[in-house]
Chains A and B, each alone.
Chain A
């Protein structure tokens, strides 16, 4: 199975540039390695990937141990913005970094749309 990193990167780049208030995005493996990323300068791809994987795996455990079911999404809301982790099938995790000004409904819609693009490439 050859995953096209170029296609993934292209999807991420157009997602980041075409959506207002989105600052960065990455697709990483569940064990924390980068597959593709379009991140703000100064942010280390490898580090971002490892953190995303750790967070999602913990979220998963909270979902099952505390009877919340399968996890769709994890939100980190800070006073400067959001970090949103979405499971992207078996083999990937999708991270989005957004500005505090982002409209949440719009953001979720955009994530959903991009997610299906990404999944198509990852299939």
Chain B
């Protein structure tokens, strides 16, 4: 196995919000201490509910925003507090594909212009005809036809647009691709086409994927490792099979049991989670999951559990036993 291309240690991103008249400013801990690494040819999936900090993580890794605290090392270089300002090499190593293929392409640019723009901005040394050649080559690589080069985004379907978005992200030959819910806006019959494309490209280009999704059946299919976020904190991280077959954190277990399975014969017992994600502005004391947890102990409301373990880590005082069939 090759060495990691990205190492994140205790990554944090906090936002300050104005408290209003006579109120102190509050701090939103959108991302609160995530550690993980990305390896070429492998996929790390990040799952969690909305508000769990998945997209903030994507923005920090893509260097759209600098981390408030913690260390982010990409390709052996550390990202400073002012992000990757001025460092085009570093920027071209990490690229992102957004969720909404309708909103993330410029409607006034042809597909060709869209694809060539990253080169125009970041690689002034490349000549115009070389740029065009590379863009056309990329078009065929993502499964579009050469005649699509001069067309506009509105002439494409959702799946094709997502292919364009992937092509654009690959123009600078990145090592890391951040995929922020790349298939959730697509229909089922199109979703599988895009997933196959992503897996093909990963094999061919040896890319490291950070795959953000809330759809666990997709994650199960594409991921090598899974990171479960809750209120900005990783509660469990480990190899895919372990996470899906033997989750130890109650939240992971609940999340898995809440996901509907497309098999009517397999009606299982659900773990009911009451309530919703608390606001990241006033996190509960102790373990942040304790108000919704069904395995809560006295200690959970007081002491925050640390993330423990080797390979498969989880942060819980009272983890789900190893071979529990259905949680009581």
Question: Do they bind each other?
Answer: no
Chain B interface (Cβ < 8 Å from any Cβ of A): none
Q: Chain A: residues with CB nearer than 8 A to chain B?
A: none
